[in-house]
Amino acid sequence: LSLSLVMFDLDHFKQTNDKFGHLAGDYVLKETCELIKNKMIRSQDALGRYGGEEFALLLRETPLRIAVEVAERIRSTIEKHRFLFDEQSVPVTISMGVVSLDSTAKSPDAFIAMADKALYDAKNSGRNRVCVR
Protein backbone atom coordinates (compact mmCIF):
# COMPACT_ATOMS: atom_id res chain seq x y z
CA LEU A 1 0.00 0.00 0.00
CA SER A 2 1.42 3.39 -1.02
CA LEU A 3 0.12 6.23 1.08
CA SER A 4 1.29 9.81 0.75
CA LEU A 5 0.45 12.87 2.80
CA VAL A 6 0.62 16.47 1.63
CA MET A 7 0.44 19.19 4.27
CA PHE A 8 -0.01 22.70 2.94
CA ASP A 9 -0.94 26.16 3.98
CA LEU A 10 -1.70 29.46 2.37
CA ASP A 11 1.28 31.79 2.28
CA HIS A 12 0.98 35.01 4.30
CA PHE A 13 -2.70 34.33 4.99
CA LYS A 14 -2.82 36.82 7.89
CA GLN A 15 -1.76 39.54 5.45
CA THR A 16 -4.58 38.50 3.11
CA ASN A 17 -7.08 38.86 5.96
CA ASP A 18 -5.56 42.19 7.05
CA LYS A 19 -5.47 43.67 3.54
CA PHE A 20 -8.70 42.31 2.03
CA GLY A 21 -10.77 41.44 5.12
CA HIS A 22 -11.88 38.20 6.74
CA LEU A 23 -14.68 37.61 4.22
CA ALA A 24 -12.06 37.64 1.48
CA GLY A 25 -9.95 35.23 3.55
CA ASP A 26 -12.92 32.89 3.91
CA TYR A 27 -13.53 33.09 0.17
CA VAL A 28 -9.87 32.23 -0.55
CA LEU A 29 -9.99 29.20 1.78
CA LYS A 30 -13.22 27.90 0.23
CA GLU A 31 -12.13 28.56 -3.36
CA THR A 32 -8.79 26.84 -2.77
CA CYS A 33 -10.53 23.74 -1.40
CA GLU A 34 -13.10 23.69 -4.20
CA LEU A 35 -10.38 23.89 -6.85
CA ILE A 36 -8.40 21.06 -5.27
CA LYS A 37 -11.38 18.85 -4.40
CA ASN A 38 -13.25 19.23 -7.68
CA LYS A 39 -10.43 19.45 -10.20
CA MET A 40 -7.13 18.22 -8.78
CA ILE A 41 -7.64 15.02 -6.77
CA ARG A 42 -9.41 11.68 -7.08
CA SER A 43 -12.54 10.69 -5.18
CA GLN A 44 -10.56 8.23 -3.02
CA ASP A 45 -8.22 11.00 -1.83
CA ALA A 46 -9.07 12.92 1.32
CA LEU A 47 -8.72 16.67 1.83
CA GLY A 48 -9.27 18.23 5.23
CA ARG A 49 -8.57 21.36 7.16
CA TYR A 50 -5.87 20.70 9.74
CA GLY A 51 -6.14 24.04 11.51
CA GLY A 52 -6.26 27.72 10.59
CA GLU A 53 -5.11 27.92 7.00
CA GLU A 54 -3.32 24.57 7.11
CA PHE A 55 -4.67 21.56 5.23
CA ALA A 56 -3.91 17.87 4.92
CA LEU A 57 -4.32 15.89 1.71
CA LEU A 58 -4.13 12.11 1.99
CA LEU A 59 -3.34 10.40 -1.31
CA ARG A 60 -4.23 6.71 -1.22
CA GLU A 61 -2.27 4.24 -3.33
CA THR A 62 0.09 7.01 -4.37
CA PRO A 63 3.88 6.66 -4.26
CA LEU A 64 6.03 9.65 -3.31
CA ARG A 65 7.05 10.49 -6.88
CA ILE A 66 3.40 10.82 -7.98
CA ALA A 67 2.44 12.68 -4.78
CA VAL A 68 5.13 15.28 -5.52
CA GLU A 69 3.75 15.70 -9.06
CA VAL A 70 0.22 16.13 -7.68
CA ALA A 71 1.43 18.68 -5.12
CA GLU A 72 3.34 20.66 -7.73
CA ARG A 73 0.32 20.68 -10.05
CA ILE A 74 -1.87 21.98 -7.18
CA ARG A 75 0.71 24.60 -6.19
CA SER A 76 1.01 25.85 -9.76
CA THR A 77 -2.77 25.90 -10.30
CA ILE A 78 -3.36 27.94 -7.12
CA GLU A 79 -0.61 30.39 -8.06
CA LYS A 80 -2.14 30.95 -11.53
CA HIS A 81 -5.80 30.97 -10.45
CA ARG A 82 -7.52 34.34 -10.38
CA PHE A 83 -9.04 34.77 -6.93
CA LEU A 84 -11.53 37.61 -7.30
CA PHE A 85 -13.32 39.01 -4.26
CA ASP A 86 -15.41 42.21 -4.40
CA GLU A 87 -13.84 42.95 -7.79
CA GLN A 88 -10.37 42.82 -6.23
CA SER A 89 -7.76 40.30 -7.30
CA VAL A 90 -6.36 38.50 -4.26
CA PRO A 91 -2.91 36.96 -4.81
CA VAL A 92 -2.65 33.44 -3.38
CA THR A 93 0.23 30.98 -3.17
CA ILE A 94 0.68 27.87 -1.07
CA SER A 95 3.58 26.02 0.52
CA MET A 96 3.48 22.23 0.55
CA GLY A 97 5.24 19.41 2.34
CA VAL A 98 5.05 15.85 0.96
CA VAL A 99 5.88 12.51 2.59
CA SER A 100 5.11 8.87 1.89
CA LEU A 101 4.45 6.24 4.50
CA ASP A 102 7.49 4.06 5.08
CA SER A 103 9.11 2.16 7.92
CA THR A 104 10.45 5.31 9.59
CA ALA A 105 6.97 6.55 10.57
CA LYS A 106 6.15 4.56 13.70
CA SER A 107 2.72 6.12 14.20
CA PRO A 108 0.14 8.34 12.49
CA ASP A 109 1.46 11.26 14.58
CA ALA A 110 5.01 10.63 13.35
CA PHE A 111 3.75 10.52 9.75
CA ILE A 112 1.99 13.87 10.21
CA ALA A 113 5.06 15.33 11.93
CA MET A 114 7.24 14.34 8.94
CA ALA A 115 4.84 16.11 6.55
CA ASP A 116 4.74 19.14 8.84
CA LYS A 117 8.55 19.31 8.79
CA ALA A 118 8.52 19.21 4.99
CA LEU A 119 5.94 22.03 4.99
CA TYR A 120 8.15 24.00 7.38
CA ASP A 121 11.06 23.47 4.94
CA ALA A 122 8.92 24.89 2.11
CA LYS A 123 8.00 27.95 4.15
CA ASN A 124 11.56 28.50 5.37
CA SER A 125 13.05 28.28 1.89
CA GLY A 126 10.90 31.04 0.42
CA ARG A 127 7.29 29.76 0.28
CA ASN A 128 5.24 28.93 -2.85
CA ARG A 129 7.06 25.63 -3.25
CA VAL A 130 6.86 21.90 -2.64
CA CYS A 131 9.35 20.23 -0.29
CA VAL A 132 9.80 16.52 0.37
CA ARG A 133 11.06 14.59 3.38
Share of the chain above pLDDT 90, in %: 91
Residue numbers annotated as active site: 53
Task: Give me the chain's average pLDDT, please.
Answer: 95
Note if the pTM is more than 0.85. yes
Mean pLDDT within 121-125: 97
**Residue 105 confidence (pLDDT):** 76
pLDDT in tens, 35-84: 999 999 999 999 999 988 999 999 999 999 999 999 999 999 999 999 99
Share of the chain above pLDDT 70, in %: 99
CA 81 to chain centre: 15
pLDDT of 120 strictly over 70: yes
**Residue 103 confidence (pLDDT):** 67
pLDDT confidence of 104, banded at 50, 70, 90?
Answer: confident
Burial class from Cβ neighbours inside 10 Å (0-12, 13-18, 19+) for residue 100 reads buried
Give the residue from 61, 78, 54, 53 showing the smallest Cα distance to 129.
78
pLDDT of 89 strictly over 90: yes
**Would you mind telling me the total number of residues written for the chain in this entry?**
133
